[in-house]
């Protein structure tokens, strides 16, 4: 799986830097070409000679004294993956803020390869709100985070913050580079709320931020899928995804129906308007004319249309944003629209639903038990959803989507 892969191994200034030696050895033994990059802080804990002897190339430390005048772009562009072991709070903060303070942070900003960061620090630092926010930012951008273990820390105290074991780190590298559970699949993901024009300047819209759809797209890429993102919002496109911008329900219907012909999985996370003005004025409706009479008509039911024409082997995932009878309404929609999986959430609950960075959902499969994903971040919810998709693809009957990975998440309704 790792044979011939070019991996940049970043090492920062933490006491756990010595464990990077074992990670390096395991990667090299697995056939990877390991290029080590150490920060000045790392040199206080680990000798350059040690890592150079075990890696595929000598350690690089500086932007200025290497053989090439632009080492960061050469390293970033040539890497199949960058892994940072350990990742200190300083490195995490600089990376999240986009600060290019040394060779390693320059490489991280100059690469389009997958990035795996392995935090290690004292519990108080790991739990500090600034560090938590920076980790959440990196996750939203598609960075893979190998969370620290609980155990004995430097200084003799104990808690969460201990660097993950080399086995866990290498397994994550293999997972990311090995294509993942959705390798070779084409996923179409919709995101955001549609905007239905009233006149030249006004629209009927909803509160959907698009964050859940984008989290699903990012996680699907991490799991090896080819992803097409059909979106109404202007969030940063996850690296590697193909973006199809749309605005109205009709736009989204046309895009999704065209893409569904080649899609193995369609995830309708967008909040599609249920109604639109029957007539949209070409110009602006003037206020002095009094309140306009707006006649509404139903928008196309994209999800039902996809369900009616679903190909054998194709999976269809819908969303149900509800304020009452959440599970019952979702189950009815699952059957009515011929879905394989529906993601239901109570958007009236605190910190759940539109515009939040957190979400709590119930996953319902056709003919399967309901599984609740407790309040957590959107990327974690995305992972739970896609783990369920992978299980359905492989015929696994278990309804546990492994929701224990990250933190808070929001959700879109569908239509």
Q: What is the pLDDT of residue 179?
A: 63
Cis peptide before 86 (omega within 30 of 0): yes
Closest C-alpha among 38, 62, 33, 65 to residue 49:
38
- Answer whether 61's CB lies under 8 Å from 52's CB: no
Whether residue 301 contacts residue 314, with contact meaning beta carbons closer than 8 Å, is answered with no
Residue 151 phi/psi, 5-degree rounding, is 160, -165
33-38/6-11 β-pairing = parallel
Range 282-315 burial, b when 16+ CB lie within 10 A, else e: eeeeeeeeeeeebeeeebbbbbbebbeebeeeeb
Torsions phi, psi for 175 (to 5 deg): -60, -45
Closest residue by Cα to residue 401 from 271, 216, 263, 221: 216
> Distance (Å, rounded) from C-alpha 285 to C-alpha 292?
8
State the Cα–Cα distance between residues 265 and 2, nearest whole angstrom.
Answer: 28
All structural domains of the chain: 6-177 (3.40.50.1950), 186-394 (3.40.50.10300)
Per DSSP bridges, beta strands 265-268 and 242-245 are unpaired
Round to the nearest angstrom and report the end-to-end CA distance of the chain.
Answer: 41
Contact (CB, 8 A) for 183 and 195: no
Residues with catalytic function: 206
CA torsion through residues 93, 97, 102, 107, sign: positive
pLDDT in tens, the chain (415 residues): 788 999 999 999 999 999 999 999 999 999 999 999 999 999 999 999 999 999 999 999 988 765 666 777 889 989 999 999 999 999 999 999 999 999 999 999 999 999 999 999 999 999 999 999 999 999 888 898 999 988 888 877 888 989 999 988 988 888 788 767 898 899 999 999 999 999 999 999 988 899 999 999 988 887 888 899 999 999 988 867 899 999 999 999 999 999 999 999 999 999 999 999 999 999 999 988 889 899 999 999 999 999 999 999 999 999 998 878 888 999 999 999 999 999 998 876 776 667 677 888 999 998 777 899 988 888 889 999 999 999 999 885 444 444 333 333 333 333 3
Name the phi and psi angles at 263, rounded to 5.
-85, 135
Distance, in Å, from the CA atom of 108 to the CA atom of 54, rounded to the nearest integer, reads 22
By DSSP bridging, strand 81-87 and strand 115-119 are: parallel
Task: Identify which of 167, 270, 180 has the alpha carbon closest to the alpha carbon of residue 221.
Answer: 180
Overall pTM > 0.85: no
Q: How far is residue 241's CA from residue 382's CA, in Å, rounded to a whole number?
A: 15
Closest to 303 in 3D by CA, of 340, 278, 329, 277: 340
Beta bridge partners of 306: none
- Residue holding tokens 């991280």? 108
Q: d(Cα 286, Cα 164) in Å, to the nearest integer?
A: 62
Beta strands in 222-380 (DSSP E): 226-231, 242-245, 265-268, 275-277, 296-298, 315-322, 341-346, 358-365, 371-377
């Amino acid at each position: 799986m790792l044979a011939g892969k070019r991996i940049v191994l970043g090492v920062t200034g933490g006491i756990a830097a010595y464990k990077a030696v074992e990670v390096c050895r395991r990667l090299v033994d697995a056939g990877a070409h390991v290029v080590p990059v150490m920060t000045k802080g790392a040199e206080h804990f680990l000798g350059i000679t040690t890592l150079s002897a075990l890696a595929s190339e000598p350690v690089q430390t500086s932007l200025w004294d290497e053989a090439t005048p632009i080492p960061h772009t050469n390293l970033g562009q040539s890497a199949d993956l960058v892994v940072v072991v350990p990742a200190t709070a300083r490195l995490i903060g600089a990376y999240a803020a986009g600060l290019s303070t040394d060779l390693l942070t320059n490489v991280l900003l100059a690469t389009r390869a997958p990035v795996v960061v392995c935090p290690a620090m004292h519990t108080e630092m790991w739990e500090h709100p600034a560090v938590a926010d920076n980790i959440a930012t990196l996750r939203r951008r598609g960075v893979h985070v190998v969370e620290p273990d609980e155990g004995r820390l430097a200084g003799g105290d104990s808690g969460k913050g201990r660097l993950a074991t080399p086995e866990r780190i290498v397994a994550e590298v293999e997972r990311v580079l090995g294509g993942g559970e959705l390798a070779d699949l084409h996923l179409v993901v919709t995101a955001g709320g549609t905007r239905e024009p009233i006149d030249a300047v006004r629209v009927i819209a909803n509160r959907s931020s698009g964050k859940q759809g984008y989290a699903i797209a990012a996680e699907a890429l991490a799991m090896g899928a080819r992803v097409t993102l059909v979106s109404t919002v202007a969030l940063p496109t996850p690296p590697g995804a193909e973006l199809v911008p749309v605005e109205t329900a009709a736009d989204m219907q046309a895009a999704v129906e065209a893409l569904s012909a080649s899609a193995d999985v369609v995830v309708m996370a967008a909040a599609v308007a249920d109604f639109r003005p029957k007539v949209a004025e070409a110009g602006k409706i003037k206020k002095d004319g009094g309140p306009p009479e707006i006649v509404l008509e139903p928008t196309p039911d994209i999800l039902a249309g996809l369900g009616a024409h679903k190909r054998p082997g194709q999976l269809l995932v819908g969303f149900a944003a509800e304020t009452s009878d959440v599970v019952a309404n979702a189950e009815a929609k699952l059957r009515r629209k011929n879905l394989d999986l529906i993601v239901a959430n109570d958007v009236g609950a605190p910190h759940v639903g539109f515009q939040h960075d957190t979400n709590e959902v119930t996953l319902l499969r056709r003919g399967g038990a309901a599984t609740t994903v407790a309040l957590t971040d959107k990327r974690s919810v995305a992972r739970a959803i896609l783990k369920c998709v992978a299980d359905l693809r492989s015929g696994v009957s278990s309804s546990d989507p492994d929701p224990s990975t990250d933190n808070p998440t929001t959700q879109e309704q569908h239509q």
